[in-house]
């Protein structure tokens, strides 16, 4: 497809980056599109409660169970009781705007949504997400002595930060489904169903050459050791992994865009080093012009047999021009459809445009990472990036059908920005996440066991709606659709999770422990009896049987973060109680 060039003024005006939302599951969460206009410090995805009623009953028809079905925590009367309840701030309710981060960082407000009735909402559909920015951003907050804002935490990114050992993928499909069932550690009446997708591993002989354009934000907001200096170290680490088959160009933007390095071979490391080390910060952020220039260079060096990618490194503080969205999103999606993808690296704090960067990476079929240290830079750009660049499955979607004879209610943890309408599952025109070689994606469903009741509302056109009496031992049917990297019609695989499949795996135990910490940090209304002591105890028990290595180091770091978070919660609880007195 020939790219249509728009006037530069439209591209510069496009830099709002409050990216268009994915279509949401009309049988699950219903989201309201944020008003596009001025850039707000908090962007909102609002759950709409459908209060339509039938025959004057006043019952909702959305399938989301009423809030009164969820226990409300009592008020605390002592510091110990306050800490035990992890009570420090009220949950954000639908219809309100989440608290603005005191630091000035910008996050989307993503409402969790409630449990779904499988008779009214039998299908849950979402696109895969392998971003991990929320975890490293959470770590940065805690290690600096602060609890992260609730809106900074996307549960799926906490889960997917860790590697999970799974069998090697074999057979005709490049991906495999794995399911597991176990107890929810924060609520003894609930179960957790885990869905994992594993992509086929590729050896070094199958790796494709790279065609990179480093798009570097050198504006004044990038001053500080955790921004441009750290960014340089990150790209220098990546440079050492390049070889003669790779090509790299560097574009900078600050007030205006410029080419710091025309495309050179990956073996010309001296030229790449010289260009990176010469970068200095200063000026305002002409992000749209920079992206335009980067894509021009990416087109010039395009190779259909290579990994063609723009890697944007920024704090997300775009501050030039009128704020519009459509033109920039169109530009990114046009190039995505031509095989030039976009990966986003976030740096810094105080004006971090987290929500914007997360959205724009999604439109570019790339990943969003937050770099908080040199170790994370090496993990992302040296250990992880090459694997994610070699796509083995495109537009990967999951659809789960729940059996109302076994499941009274369910809810998906996280993935708010990735949810799809049920009909999108088989629609190959609907974009979804891609899977790179060897990648694993994890999702958790919280399930209320039991049989779903009859539809409480008297329906005019669906009378006597009941569950099929067959397959009574099945909890849910998991389907996955994917497309080949070369395109074509999507293919489908599926797996059934039965009640008898109740042997917990270590993968599920670890994912549940990570999710529990996320619920505590978000002060989720669904946290039940979650506790930091429980998180620490379960994580340490899992580490006792570990095999060592870099992954264990990350998991031990997780235990330390949970301890620090516990102390920070206690401090906040004591402070809140003293204010009350």
User: In the prediction, which pLDDT does 281 show?
Assistant: 81
Domain termination site, one of 355, 370, 389: 389
More confident residue, 379 or 66: 379
pLDDT for residue 558 is more than 70: yes
Give the CA count within 13 Å in the CB-facing half-sphere of 212.
31
**490, 506: one domain:** yes
pTM for this model (two decimals): 0.81
Q: 494: part of which helix (H) or strand (E)? A: strand 487-498
Task: Specify the CATH number for the domain of residue 385.
Answer: 3.40.50.410
In a domain, 37, yes or no: yes
The domain containing residue 236 runs over which residues?
208-389
**408, 448: one domain:** yes
Q: What is the DSSP letter of 338?
A: T
In a domain, 70, yes or no: no
pLDDT for residue 2 is more than 50: no
Give the CA count within 13 Å in the CB-facing half-sphere of 493.
15
**429, 571: one domain:** yes
Assigned token pair, 310: 């723009």
Kindly report, residue by residue over 148-179, the tens digit of the pLDDT.
Answer: 999 999 999 999 999 999 999 999 999 999 99
CA 412 to chain centre: 13
Kindly report, residue by residue over 276-309, the tens digit of the pLDDT.
Answer: 999 988 766 556 678 888 999 999 999 999 999 9
CA 258 to chain centre: 31
Please answer whether residues 397 and 432 qualify as being in contact, where contact means their C-beta atoms are separated by less than 8 angstroms: yes
**342, 276: one domain:** yes
Q: What is the DSSP letter of 162?
A: S
Q: What is the CA radius of gyration of the chain?
A: 24
Of 125, 179, 197, nearest to 400 (Cα)? 125
**109, 95: one domain:** yes
Please answer whether residues 280 and 298 qualify as being in contact, where contact means their C-beta atoms are separated by less than 8 angstroms: no
Q: What percent of the chain has pLDDT over 70?
A: 75
Residue 315 pLDDT level (bands cut at 50, 70, 90): confident
With helix as H, strand as E and coil as C, how does 368-430 read? EEECCCHHHHHHHHHHHHHHHHCEEEEEEEEEEEECCCCEEEEEECCCHHHECCHHHHHCCCC
**38, 97: one domain:** yes
In a domain, 20, yes or no: no
What's the mean pLDDT when you consider all of the chain? 80
The C-alpha atoms of residue 528 and residue 530 are separated, in whole angstroms, by 6
Task: Tell the residue number behind the tokens 């999606």, with chain if given.
Answer: 333
Domain termination site, one of 334, 364, 389: 389
Residue 577 pLDDT level (bands cut at 50, 70, 90): confident
In a domain, 93, yes or no: yes
**296, 420: one domain:** no
In a domain, 86, yes or no: yes
**426, 290: one domain:** no
**429, 495: one domain:** yes
Assigned token pair, 380: 């992302």
- Tell me the mean pLDDT in the region 513-540: 97
More confident residue, 275 or 89: 275
In a domain, 384, yes or no: yes
**444, 566: one domain:** yes
In a domain, 9, yes or no: no
Task: Quote the number of domains for the chain.
Answer: 2
Kindly report, residue by residue over 394-419, the tens digit of the pLDDT.
Answer: 999 999 999 999 999 999 999 998 99
Indicate the range of 10-24, 288-302, 366-380 predicted with least confidence.
Answer: 10-24
Domain termination site, one of 389, 411, 430: 389
pLDDT for residue 88 is more than 60: no
Q: What percent of the chain has pLDDT over 90?
A: 53
More confident residue, 201 or 323: 201
**212, 198: one domain:** no
CB atoms within 10 A of CB 93: 10
Of 124, 145, 282, 125, nearest to 216 (Cα)? 282
**454, 549: one domain:** yes
CB atoms within 10 A of CB 201: 14
Residue 566 pLDDT level (bands cut at 50, 70, 90): very high
User: In the prediction, which pLDDT does 324 show?
Assistant: 57
More confident residue, 42 or 255: 255
- Tell me the mean pLDDT in the region 535-564: 92
Q: 359: part of which helix (H) or strand (E)? A: helix 354-363
E strands, 128-246, in order = 175-184, 187-199, 210-217
Longest dimension (CA), the chain: 75
Spell 269-293 as b/e; 16+ CB within 10 A means b: beebeebbeebebebbbbbbbbbbb
pLDDT for residue 250 is more than 80: yes
In a domain, 233, yes or no: yes
């Amino acid at each position: 497809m020939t790219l249509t060039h728009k006037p530069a003024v439209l591209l510069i005006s496009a830099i709002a980056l409050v990216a268009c939302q994915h279509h949401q599951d009309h049988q699950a969460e219903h989201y309201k599109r944020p008003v596009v206009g001025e850039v707000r410090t908090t962007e909102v995805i609002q759950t709409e409660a459908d209060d339509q009623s039938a025959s004057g009953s006043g019952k909702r028809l959305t399938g989301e169970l009423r809030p009164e079905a969820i226990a409300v925590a009592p008020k605390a009367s002592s510091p110990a009781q306050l800490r035990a309840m992890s009570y420090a701030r009220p949950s954000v309710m639908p219809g309100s705007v989440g608290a603005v981060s005191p630091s000035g960082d910008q996050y989307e407000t993503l409402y969790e949504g409630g449990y779904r009735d499988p008779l009214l909402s039998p299908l849950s559909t979402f696109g895969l997400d392998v971003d991990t920015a929320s975890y490293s951003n959470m770590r940065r907050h805690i290690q600096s002595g602060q609890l992260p804002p609730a809106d900074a935490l996307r549960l799926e990114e906490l889960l997917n930060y860790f590697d999970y050992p799974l069998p090697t993928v074999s057979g005709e499909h490049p991906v495999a489904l794995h399911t597991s069932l176990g107890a929810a550690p924060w609520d003894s009446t609930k179960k957790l169903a885990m869905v994992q997708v594993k992509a086929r591993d590729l050896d070094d002989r199958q790796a494709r050459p790279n065609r990179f354009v480093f798009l570097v934000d050198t504006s004044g907001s990038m001053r500080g050791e955790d921004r441009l200096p750290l960014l340089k170290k990150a790209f220098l680490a990546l440079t050492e992994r390049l070889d003669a088959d790779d090509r790299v160009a560097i574009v900078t933007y600050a007030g205006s865009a410029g080419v710091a390095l025309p495309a050179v071979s990956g073996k010309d490391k001296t030229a790449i080093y010289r260009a990176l080390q010469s970068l200095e910060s200063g000026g305002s952020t002409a992000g749209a012009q920079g992206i335009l220039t980067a894509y021009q260079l990416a087109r010039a060096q395009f190779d259909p047999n290579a990994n063609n990618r723009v890697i944007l490194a920024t704090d997300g503080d775009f501050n030039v021009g009128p704020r519009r969205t459509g033109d920039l999103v169109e530009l990114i999606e046009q190039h995505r459809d031509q095989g030039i993808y976009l990966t986003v690296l976030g740096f810094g704090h105080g004006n971090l445009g987290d929500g914007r960067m997360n959205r724009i990476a999604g439109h570019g079929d790339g990943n969003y990472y937050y770099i908080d240290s040199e170790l994370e830079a090496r993990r992302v750009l040296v250990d992880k990036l090459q694997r994610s660049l070699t796509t083995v499955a495109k537009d990967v979607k999951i659809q789960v059908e729940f059996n109302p004879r076994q499941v009274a209610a369910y809810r998906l943890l996280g993935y708010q920005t990735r949810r799809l309408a049920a009909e999108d599952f088989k629609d190959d025109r609907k974009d979804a996440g891609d899977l790179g070689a060897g990648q694993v994606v994890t999702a958790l469903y919280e399930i209320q066991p039991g049989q779903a009741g009859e539809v409480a509302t008297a329906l005019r056109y669906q009378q006597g709606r009941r569950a099929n009496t067959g397959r009574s031992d099945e909890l849910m049917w998991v389907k996955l659709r994917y497309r080949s990297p070369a395109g074509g019609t999507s293919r489908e695989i599926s797996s059934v999770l039965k009640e008898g499949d109740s042997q917990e795996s270590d993968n599920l135990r670890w994912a549940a422990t990570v999710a529990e910490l996320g619920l505590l940090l978000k002060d989720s209304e669904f946290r039940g009896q979650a506790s930091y002591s429980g998180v620490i105890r379960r994580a340490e028990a899992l580490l006792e049987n570990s095999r060592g290595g870099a992954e264990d180091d990350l998991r031990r770091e997780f235990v330390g973060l949970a301890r620090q978070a516990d102390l920070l919660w206690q401090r906040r609880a004591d402070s809140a109680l003293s204010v009350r007195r």
